[in-house]
Amino acid sequence: MSRIKRKLNAEIITLAHGSGGKAMRDLIDDVFVSGFDNSHLDELEDQAKFNLSDLAKHGNRLAMTTDSYVVDPLFFPGGDIGKLAITGTVNDLAVGGAKPLYLTCSMIIEEGFKVETLRKIVKSMKKTADDAGVKIVTGDTKVVNKGECDKLFINTTGIGVIAENINIAASRAQVGDVVIINGFVGDHGAAIVDARGEMSLENTIKSDCQVLNSLIQKMLEVCPAIHCMRDATRGGLATVLNEFAQSSQVNITINETQIPIRPEVRGMCEILGLDPLYLANEGKLIAVVPADSANKVLQVMQKHPAGIDSAIIGKVEKQPASRVILATSFGGNRIVDMLVGEQLPRIC
């Protein structure tokens, strides 16, 4: 016998929707279970259950990651907090070589939040999860007093499986390797600055918020021996490269003229005194691959919608160890350090 699903008859979220009673059950049934729509959630248990044999079909190691999303504003050109929450967690799994499979979703909602806005965010999450081929299988809901959180915070945890022949780690960069990026840097950070409307800037920059697991699968098919890979979120391209250089005890030299940066992003950075190398991205990966595989990896990336503007931007050298060097367009070199502090708060 199918379970009778409850309907939510409210326009705003109240503290009762986090109390554990009927109002909360109506919210979960009507907004989350119906919105995410899969058999695991329909069970309404405190956990989702999986057969280990089904997971083992994809590989021999389990990958798990978690992240929280507090972006302001909730909606921005190219995305929203819901799309961002799915994208960020899926990509964190995928850049480790994992096939993302399942996500959890926990929401902290401010009293007075509009139910219609919540439905819109859930719909965005569902679409993004479907695009990535993952399921949101369990979650949690909390409601806090007005003023105790800023509208909505989301936490997502992801589980994936890594195939036996994949070994990607920040410590595996080798001298002679090539550095590849899948497109323009800084779009997300620039889009958030513009969406906040604090700078009176007018531009058409959209966030690059997108899932990357399909692109990464294509890359691994032609080069299972990718050494390092990460998505360049907070801290941007510069931070990821420093993490690789320090973990692998190598030097990474990148060429300024080869780094894809939109003129609008570069112009905004010049006005505000920001460095695009440190701006957040939500759909960009940095891969360090063996030199003899670089061209075929680049070609398969450029054929994928998420990698059309992919480019080789640098190489791995021996000295000076643990450094990232930018070969500038003026013919000189400068050190690219780790970001000190935060250029832009609440960017994701």
Per-residue pLDDT tens over the stretch 128-139? 999 999 999 999
Mean pLDDT of 61-66: 98
Asked if residue 344 belongs to a domain, the reply is no
Cis peptide before 73 (omega within 30 of 0): yes
CATH at 141: 3.30.1330.10
Residue 1 lies in a domain: no
Average pLDDT over residues 28-41: 93
pLDDT tens per residue across span 303-330: 999 999 999 999 999 999 999 999 999 9
Confidence band, pLDDT 50/70/90 cuts, at residue 200? low
| pLDDT band, very low/low/confident/very high, at 344 (cuts 50, 70, 90) | confident
The CATH number for 183's domain is 3.90.650.10
Assess whether 215 and 131 both reside in one domain: no
What is the tens place of the pLDDT at every residue in 75-94?
Answer: 999 999 999 999 999 999 99
Residues 33 and 131 in one domain: yes
Same domain, 140 and 201: no
Judge if 144 and 193 occupy the same domain.
no
Do 82 and 209 belong together in one domain? no
C-alpha distances out from residue 216 to 78, 91, 114, 182, 252, Å = 21, 9, 37, 10, 22
| Residue range(s) defining the domain that contains residue 82 | 15-162
The two three-digit tokens of residue 160, written as one number: 């994936």
User: Which among 162, 193, 210 is the end of a domain?
Assistant: 162
Final residue before a domain boundary, out of 129, 162, 195? 162
**Percent with pLDDT over 90 in the chain:** 89
Residue 257 domain-assigned (yes or no)? yes
Instruction: Tally the domains of the chain.
Output: 2
Does 309 lie in the same domain as 206? yes
Q: Which amino acid, one-letter code, is at 226?
A: I
* 155 & 263 share domain: no
pLDDT in tens, 204-215: 899 999 999 999
Q: What is the mean pLDDT of the chain?
A: 95
* Residue 273 within any structural domain of the chain: yes
| Model pLDDT, residue 4 | 60
Question: Which phi and psi angles does 5 have, rounded to 5°?
Answer: -90, 140
Task: Please tell me whether residues 243 and 310 are part of one structural domain.
Answer: yes
Q: Write down which residue in 127, 162, 197 finishes a domain.
A: 162
pLDDT band at 3 (very low <50, low <70, confident <90, very high): low
- The answer as to whether 234 is a domain residue is yes
Q: Has residue 176 been placed in a domain?
A: yes
- On whether residue 345 sits in a domain, the answer given is no
| Residues 179, 316 within the same domain | yes
- What's the token pair of residue 43? 């069970």
Q: 3-state SS of the chain?
A: CCCCCCCCCCCECCHHHHCCCHHHHHHHHHHHHHHHCCHHHHCCCCCCCCCHHHHHCCCCEEEEEEEEECCCCCEECCEEHHHHHHHHHHHHHHCCCEEEEEEEEEEEEECCCEHHHHHHHHHHHHHHHHHHCCEEEEEEEEEECCCCCCCEEEEEEEEEEECCCCCCCHHHCCCCCEEEECCCCCHHHHHHHHHHCCCCCCCCCCCCCCCCHHHHHHHHHHCCCCCEEEECCCCHHHHHHHHHHHHHCCEEEEEHHHCCCCHHHHHHHHHHCCCHHHCCCCCCEEEEECHHHHHHHHHHHHCCCCCCCCEEEEEEECCCCCEEEEECCCCCEEECCCCCCCCCCCCC
Same domain, 196 and 71: no
Question: Which tens digit of pLDDT belongs to each residue from 93-123?
Answer: 999 999 999 999 999 999 999 999 999 999 9
Q: Is 315 found in the same domain as 226? A: yes
Q: Same structural domain for residues 238 and 321? A: yes
5 assigned to some structural domain: no
